[in-house]
Structure 1
Amino acid sequence: MIACSETLSLGKDQGFIPQPGYLYFLLQGQMTLAFGDEQNLVGIVIAHMPLGLLEHYCPSVALYYQCLGECQLAKITASDFERIFFHSSPGYMQELTTILAYMGIFALDAHYERGSQTSFQTIKSMLSRYLYRSEIDGGQHESLSAFIIKRTNLSRSYVYQVLAALREGGYITVKKGKLISIDRHIPEKF
């Protein structure tokens, strides 16, 4: 795919809206994703997420991306993307399906956590989201507490208190600040 793409560089805090007929892949840096404008933040763009894919197949969707730092994207035409993923091999189609499934999971998680959840329920949903992220990005360097604090408006002390209680209760396994596993069903209330 890289062979038929061109590289696009974006600066820190630069907004980005995909051009019609093109898809983009984040090669370097970190970006946020929002519905419509930066005020409706959904979360951080996951590794290998094809930017512009949802907009290409559902033009009524208006997504807005913003760079958190310097970013590099691979820009590919939608027709080249379809040729590679739809017509090359079943393995590529399976990979695309996996990417789309993760995109859907993250969208549902983001929607759910912004609903009428308690702070504890928000942390609980972030645990699963953290595990999804670590499956996708094995080189994830962010600690569990930093991951939760960065994406919620919860206080640092409350997050630490809940994580410590879950760890002591045998609900989760954490090593060196990273969530290794959810070991048993976590109750609805803290």
Structure 2
Amino acid sequence: MDLKAVEKPLASIENILSHFPVNQPCLIETGQTLPIAARNGTQPRKIVFLLSGAMICALGEGEKKQNLAIATGPSILGLGQLAPSGAIAQYEAIAPSMVYSVTVDKFIKVIEENQLWPDVMNIMLTIVNALAVRTAACGLHSAYDIIRSYLIYMESETTCSLKSRYTVVKYIQTFSRLSRSIILKILAELKAGDFIEMERGRLVSIKRNLPDRF
């Protein structure tokens, strides 16, 4: 399985959102971050509904910070907190985003009252599958394998408009530990071999099948 094969469970997301009337949505500007819960535990844990826009999910800080995924509206963020020791993720807006939040307790109450756990599980399993595929991509044996995987994903992805939003180098570095020099070297050779077309650092298209080996 690859990333393009992991489909967003839109029906389950919309079904859950229909049970939570939006009262006061909040606009998160590009570059602003959205912590799901306070680190000191003094504020209620919250589930966040991303109504529109796009946010990147990360765990950790500094050199240990790891970007995990890009979420686009509509999405439900923070479901990991349903576990007893759920991790506190940080979300950064990469486009203006409208969000609305409820406490974890209220979320669970509405889910139980309306028997929506199958939808919650469908969303969580999709997230797990996407993270597993992305982790597998980062664990490939060579830098070329990783770059090839992400180029194919960028070419096929349409929801986040990745090709216009990111340069290839920035996107690959967002989700991998590869150095800029290695990425640029491999991209240059793929361009020289007429495998890809790029403009101002952005992927225009994959012109022919990328070789399995580099």
Residue number in structure 2 paired with 1:166: 190
Q: Structure 1 residues 147 and 40, CA, compared in 2 at 3 Å: closer, same or farther?
A: closer
Residue number in structure 1 paired with 2:101: 75
SS at match of 2:139: coil
Q: Which runs of 5+ in 1 are unaligned?
A: 87-92
Does residue 118 in structure 1 map to residue 135 in structure 2?
no
Amino acid at match of 1:147: Y
Amino acid at match of 2:99: L
- Residue 33 of structure 1: CA displacement? 2.0
Would you say the 8 A contact 1:32–1:65 is kept in 2?
Answer: yes
Residues of 1 paired with 2:206 and 2:89: CA distance? 33
Q: Structure 1 residues 172 and 99, CA, compared in 2 at 3 Å: closer, same or farther?
A: farther
Q: Compute the TM-score of the two structures, normalised by the length of structure 1.
A: 0.63
Amino acid at match of 1:7: P
Query: Aligned pairs, how many?
Result: 177
Q: Which runs of 5+ in 2 are unaligned?
A: 1-16, 38-43
Over residues 89-141 of structure 1, what are the superposed CA-to-partner deviations in whole Å (9 max), with x where a residue is unaligned? xxxx7xx968964x345412432244363222221222234245x32213742
Residue number in structure 2 paired with 1:89: none
Would you say the 8 A contact 2:52–2:99 is kept in 1?
Answer: yes
Residues of 2 paired with 1:150 and 1:142: CA distance? 10
Identity within the alignment, %: 15
Over residues 13-59 of structure 1, what are the superposed CA-to-partner deviations in whole Å (9 max), with x where a residue is unaligned? 6561255563431645644322xx33351334321332023433x44
Residues of 2 paired with 1:153 and 1:16: CA distance? 24
SS at match of 2:67: strand
Would you say the 8 A contact 1:31–1:45 is kept in 2?
Answer: yes
- Residue 144 of structure 1: CA displacement? 1.9
Question: Which of 51, 60, 72 does residue 77 from structure 2 map onto?
Answer: 51
Does residue 186 in structure 1 map to residue 204 in structure 2?
no
SS at match of 2:131: helix
Amino acid at match of 2:79: L
Q: How large is the Cα RMSD of the aligned pairs?
A: 4.1
Q: Structure 1 residues 97 and 179, CA, compared in 2 at 3 Å: closer, same or farther?
A: farther
Amino acid at match of 2:89: Y
Would you say the 8 A contact 1:23–1:52 is kept in 2?
Answer: yes
Residues of 2 paired with 1:97 and 1:107: CA distance? 14
Would you say the 8 A contact 1:31–1:44 is kept in 2?
Answer: yes
Residue number in structure 1 paired with 2:58: 33
Question: Which of 159, 178, 181 does residue 136 from structure 1 map onto?
Answer: 159
Residues of 1 paired with 2:48 and 2:146: CA distance? 32
Would you say the 8 A contact 1:109–1:125 is kept in 2?
Answer: no
